[in-house]
Amino acid sequence: MSNHEIESSAISNNNKFIEANTQQVSLSHLKQDCTIPVFAKDNETTIPHFEFIDAVRTTAQQLFPEGTVMMPNIRTSHIIKGRIPSAIGKPAKELLENEKTIYYERMAFMIEIPHVHAYINNQKLNLTVGGVRSYSEQNLFSKKSIEKFKVFIGYKNMVCCNLCIATDGLKDDLRVSSVEELKSKTRELFLSYNQETHVNGMRRLTDYTINQEQFAHLVGKMKLFNHLDKEQKQGLFELLTTDSQINTIIKNYVDDNNFRADNDGYINLWNLYNLFTESVKSNYIDNFLSRNCNTYEFANQLGDSIKNQEDNFFLHKFDV
């Protein structure tokens, strides 16, 4: 059995954690078939994608040794093509496979740890770790410098593959100069993450419900927010959801098989939150983690406002 087949057999089939402009690749493909970008002025190598993935997975195996840590589900975008020196001047259509070089500017991955899980609203959530790397955030035309990564730990809803990430489970600007430092800082994040608090925060979303009028007011105010100037936004929640994602949320409020509103138009905040995380899948690799985390903060703010009967720019005041 090939490495690719071994890896594929160990990856959950339920794997569309991000969809926009990405393709799935194997770890062996990144390791064996892709060149490694270098810093142009000193020819020092960057930390390649496969070493980043391996560092996170190794750390997870050390911290969760009781059960299986799955093989990574990897999505890539923005392929950078090249060719070997002997193929200079050859028309692109005549290039042989062994004359082509590639690497991916952007890469995202997730790794499930299924023996650590929780149930919310009768839906299973598996503990999940992962990360994002974009070489576009490095100045590859300079000398070797500190490199930037994004690392997360959270849960994956097995019903829909939506990632659920809280603030303490995301390091959106992790800067390191070596693989060992990457492992060390990833370990710090995983150890500081509070699983119980995160699960309880998600579970409490099932306690609060909004009706159709409130939902219509909510999405209207969300669209309005995106067009307010900086002064008008002061004091409001800094929502990152785009207009196109709001349109997806509205559509899925009616159509989604798992999280749509009931026949009377009522929807609890857990289902609403999953409509948000579903819409986040349309983000590019660079920003989908921060927007995923932002949706969790937003859903919890809505829950706090309902619980405490507090004013909220996004919520119309109805009895709930």
Render each residue's pLDDT in the chain as its tens digit; 320 residues.
Answer: 233 333 333 344 456 788 778 899 999 999 999 998 888 888 888 999 999 999 999 999 999 998 889 999 999 999 999 888 888 888 888 888 888 889 999 999 999 999 999 999 999 999 999 999 999 888 887 888 899 999 999 999 999 999 999 999 999 999 999 999 999 999 999 999 999 999 999 999 999 999 999 999 999 999 999 999 999 999 999 999 999 999 999 999 999 999 999 999 999 999 999 999 999 998 888 888 999 999 999 999 999 999 999 889 999 775 54
For residues 215 and 189, membership in a common domain is answered with no
Q: Burial letters for 51-61: b for 16+ Cβ neighbours within 10 Å, e otherwise?
A: bbbbbbbebbe
For residues 15 and 146, membership in a common domain is answered with yes
Residue 15 lies in a domain: yes
237 backbone dihedrals φ, ψ, rounded to 5°: -60, 135
Looking at residue 10, its pLDDT comes to 39
Residue 228 lies in a domain: yes
**Domain termination site, one of 193, 222, 238:** 193
Instruction: State the Cα–Cα distance between residues 32 and 18, nearest whole angstrom.
Output: 24
Q: What's the distance, Cα to Cα, between the start and end of the chain in Å? A: 57
For residues 189 and 212, membership in a common domain is answered with no
For residues 56 and 156, membership in a common domain is answered with yes
Looking at residue 85, its pLDDT comes to 84
For residues 41 and 188, membership in a common domain is answered with yes
For residues 232 and 151, membership in a common domain is answered with no
Instruction: State the Cα–Cα distance between residues 152 and 184, nearest whole angstrom.
Output: 14
73 backbone dihedrals φ, ψ, rounded to 5°: -95, 115
Residue 219 lies in a domain: yes
The CB-side HSE value for 167 (13 A sphere, CA atoms) comes to 6
* Torsion sign over Cα 298, 117, 30, 149: positive
Looking at residue 230, its pLDDT comes to 92
Looking at residue 94, its pLDDT comes to 85
Q: Give the residue numbers spanning the domain of 261.
A: 208-308
Instruction: State the Cα–Cα distance between residues 304 and 312, nearest whole angstrom.
Output: 10
For residues 22 and 60, membership in a common domain is answered with yes
For residues 9 and 134, membership in a common domain is answered with yes
**Domain termination site, one of 161, 193, 225:** 193
For residues 13 and 98, membership in a common domain is answered with yes
12 backbone dihedrals φ, ψ, rounded to 5°: -55, 135
Tokens standing for 298? 């937003």
For residues 78 and 152, membership in a common domain is answered with yes
Residue 198 lies in a domain: no
Residue 319 lies in a domain: no
**Domain termination site, one of 165, 193, 221:** 193
Cα dihedral: 113, 63, 50, 137 (round 10) = 100
Counting every residue, how long is the chain? 320
Looking at residue 42, its pLDDT comes to 87
For residues 120 and 166, membership in a common domain is answered with yes
The domain total for the chain is: 2
For residues 95 and 147, membership in a common domain is answered with yes
Looking at residue 15, its pLDDT comes to 62
Looking at residue 12, its pLDDT comes to 44
H or E stretch at 45? strand 44-45
Tokens standing for 306? 């309902």
| Contact present, 46 and 107 (Cβ < 8 Å) | no
Tokens standing for 204? 């409490």
